[in-house]
Amino acid sequence: MNKRLQTIKYLLFDFLSATLSWTVFYIYRKKVIESEIFGFDIPLEFTNRYYIGIIIIPLLWIFLYYLSGYYKDIYRKSRLKEIWQTFAITITGSIFIFFILLLDDQIAHYKHYYKLFLALTAIHFFITYIPRLIITSITNHKIHTRKIGFNTIIIGCNKKAVDIYQKIENQKQSVGNKFVGFVTLEEKDNYLIEKYLPNSGKLKNIDQIIDKYSIEEVIIALETKEHKEIEKIINYLDHKKVVIKAIPSMYDILMGKVKMSHILGTPIIQISHNLMPTWQEHAKQAFDIILSIIALILFLPLLLFLAIGIKTTSKGPIIYSHERIGRFGKPFTLYKFRSMYVDAEKNGPELSSKNDSRITPFGKFLRKTKLDELPNFWNVLKGDMSIVGPRPERKYYIDKIVKVAPHYLHLQKVKPGITSWGQVKYGYAEDVDQMVKRLKYDILYIENMSLYVDLKIIIYTLLTIFKGGNI
């Protein structure tokens, strides 16, 4: 499956549909509405308003679709959900366009406004939805006929694992699972499911298994006596970019936890990664990019001043770069202004402290004012980080923290940030014990993520910096 190509298909047709619908609407407005207002046939003339619209309006629609999450999970689309999603965004976008571009139109009666709005909504909806319906129908047909699928592993190896495998494989219409193997919790001489699937390895090696086989979906199929292991399994999986599903009990079904996405599908619980509403998640990403661009432009003179200060006060590079662990456990290179002497960690990784002799005099100023982290905005533009999120750590320290607090891996469900609730509430950590104490604030953040909480953290961060505090 080529997700990028599939996304480009939807983007291209959405752009062309928005262009065509604006053109059709413009012709309707000129030939029907204006002719009705003035009482004679108006000649079709493409004015500056049309050309401005043809540039701006398709981009506006694409942005609205992006905010709504339409381009997320590009192969997992329901045609019924798609028609409602397209209609809802069409109404929203049409209201916006109507009030910005059309409300000052010359009219004879308010019924012309109603006609304009209904025409804009109807034309855009049908021209947009038809190509989407065709692309989604073709894709779903390929999934149902097993021409494309999502690499899937089963965690479990006994009767329930065999049952779920057979139920899914024997469905007349596939829901997209392409099984590549099973994962065991403990070592045994033989497993019931190995008649059907190869043994991919043990649970402790799940990270490597997911990467090796490009796994997109994990199904937890444990026996009743193994249910105590579920929390450990979720800790292993929750920071990975995979769809997690589990076999429900009758209690789960009665409590309404089981949501069917396919009428003919097998009853199963899907464990959601979504910590924010989709529109907020995408708005947060757009906010990160816009704010980072503004910050790098506005602070350019300051960046040059700091670069000169670092270069003239100590030997070594201006920028310090080091590998950190990002979302879903993916490594990335973090950029900061160098605040320590060269070879400060020649004896191995070591966290800084208040009176750290490795920090240069100019570096102390950088750290106190948090200016050493200005290059982090470049990481945000690259997509490695967010403005607000748990601070990124090195794998060396993550391995130490996980031994004490396995739930630390939950932080990898989100992008690391330039500032965090943990830093606002606790400050810098000088050892692993302090990292663990700070962890509860970052866990609390990801369980309460919202644009409102992000804004509060940014404000508290700025206030702390201006007051000369340490975060």
Neighbours of 2 (CB within 10 A): 11
Q: Is the pLDDT reported for residue 415 higher than 80?
A: yes
Percentage above 70 pLDDT, the chain: 89
CATH of domain 150-271: 3.40.50.720
| Helix (H) or strand (E) segment spanning residue 61 | helix 48-68
pLDDT in tens, 93-135: 998 887 776 655 555 456 777 788 898 899 999 999 999 999 9
Calculate the average pLDDT of the chain: 84
Q: Is the pLDDT reported for residue 257 higher than 50?
A: no
Question: Would you list the domain boundaries of the chain?
Answer: 3-144, 150-271, 278-466
pLDDT of residue 368: 82
**More confident call, 120 vs 253:** 120
Neighbours of 461 (CB within 10 A): 22
Nearest partner of 416 among 393, 448, 450, judged by Cα: 393
Question: Which amino acid is present at 444?
Answer: L
- pTM check: above 0.85: no
pLDDT of residue 251: 41
Q: Which residues contact 428 (CB under 8 A, 6 or more apart)?
A: 352, 470, 471
Q: 340's torsion region: left (phi>0), alpha (psi -120 to 50) or beta?
A: beta
pLDDT in tens, 309-337: 999 999 889 999 989 999 988 999 999 99
Whole-angstrom distance, CA of residue 445 vs CA of residue 389: 8
Q: State mean pLDDT over 21-26.
A: 91
Nearest partner of 181 among 143, 219, 225, judged by Cα: 219
pLDDT of residue 259: 52
Nearest partner of 103 among 114, 92, 93, 113, judged by Cα: 113
For the chain, helix, strand, coil in percent to 5 are: 60, 10, 30
